Amino acid sequence: MTDTLNTVPFVSVDNMMRLVLKVGIETFLGELSAYIEEDFARWDRFDKTPRVASHSRDGVIELMPTSDGTLYGFKYVNGHPKNMREGRQTVTAFGVLADVGNGYPMLLSEMTILTALRTAATSAVAAKHLAPQKARTMALIGNGAQAEFQALAFKALLGVDRVRLHDIDPSATRKCIRNLAGRGIEMLHAASAQDAVEGAEIVTTVTADKQYATILTDNMVGEGIHINAVGGDCPGKTELHPDILRRAAIFVEYPPQTRIEGEIQQLAADHPVTELSDVVAGRATGRSDPRQITLFDSVGFAIEDFSALRYVRDKLRDTGLYEDLDLLADPDEPRDLFGMLLRCEARLQAAE
């Protein structure tokens, strides 16, 4: 990949799919996880702010910015649960990576597929530090667009090879089982969330309804389980009964955002939580007892998107799976932007 003054590498949906398949889905997830873990380890170097959200009756549109002082990245993302009923994606996204030194964008990329990959990779990074050792069985409750990515990320990083699946829509579970066939995962279609959790060492909840929901009740959660709560990611949207939270050691990405959007919005503002970055960097303990219930209250944070964009940009150098986008004006003399417009007019007139 060559950098020029007036073009920006653009990764379309088609090229993102080609990139993932060329690298290999599990390899992609594993490599992406390494970038995320690297950035979690240097968390203090980043600008951090809760995402800027515009809420409506139907959903939310958000901007998620961050910078490490050398690169700047942001993601535009929506969350509209009703979209599925209209044949649209619940979540769509795109992102930009830019050079802090001159402000020029260095990459524009689709992030609908990439967000699913980075969310799953982040879940697996958290479980690497928090889940019971040698855990091999996961309950996966909510079998929509994110489910397969979660299952494969846990297989790639932790060796999880047994997944107990449940969704209130049985066709979603059948879809998930069909898509994961032949990938080395033993799958069970559970009749209920309770049945799915039975015998699982890891429980992932990834449902989409924008409401205070109770996907897991306190009596369903025994000692020693790691919970990966992914679906609750905005005010008024949760998945766990608050009694579970009071029993668990809770780990979060960025407390000022998670207290607004995560499961812990159900608790007092001073309820103790641990930042996952402190665990990754060795400043805090993850799982401290085999009987402990650990909870990763995942809402998604801008640094994870930054890691994903950084990873994709590095992969483009070897794959060429991008298009040069004519995004930046490049006049012959930087102050003569109007002259650039006049020269275009002259070319158009000469071509008539």
The alpha helices in 24-143, defined as continuous H runs, are 25-41, 112-130
* Of 164, 228, 220, residue with least CA distance to 191: 164
Whole-number Å distance between alpha carbons of 232 and 211: 9
CA 73 – CA 93 distance, rounded (Å): 13
Q: What are phi and psi of 326, to 5 degrees?
A: -80, 85
Rounded CA-CA distance 145/341 in Å is 45
Where would I find the H helices in the chain? 13-23, 25-41, 112-130, 147-158, 170-180, 193-197, 242-247, 255-261, 276-280, 302-319, 337-351
The answer to whether the Cα torsion of 121, 117, 149, 298 is positive or negative is positive
What SS3 state is found at 182? coil
Q: Which residue(s) pair with 237 in the sheet?
A: 234
Phi/psi-derived region of residue 262, left when phi > 0, alpha when psi is between -120 and 50, beta in every other case: beta
**342 token code pair:** 């006049």
The C-alpha atoms of residue 37 and residue 335 are separated, in whole angstroms, by: 43
Assign 40 to helix, strand or coil.
helix
- CB burial of residue 213 (10 Å; 0-12, 13-18, 19+): middle
| Greatest distance between any 2 Cα atoms in the chain | 78
Which active-site residues does the annotation give?
233
Check if the beta carbon of residue 244 is closer than 8 Å to that of residue 216.
yes
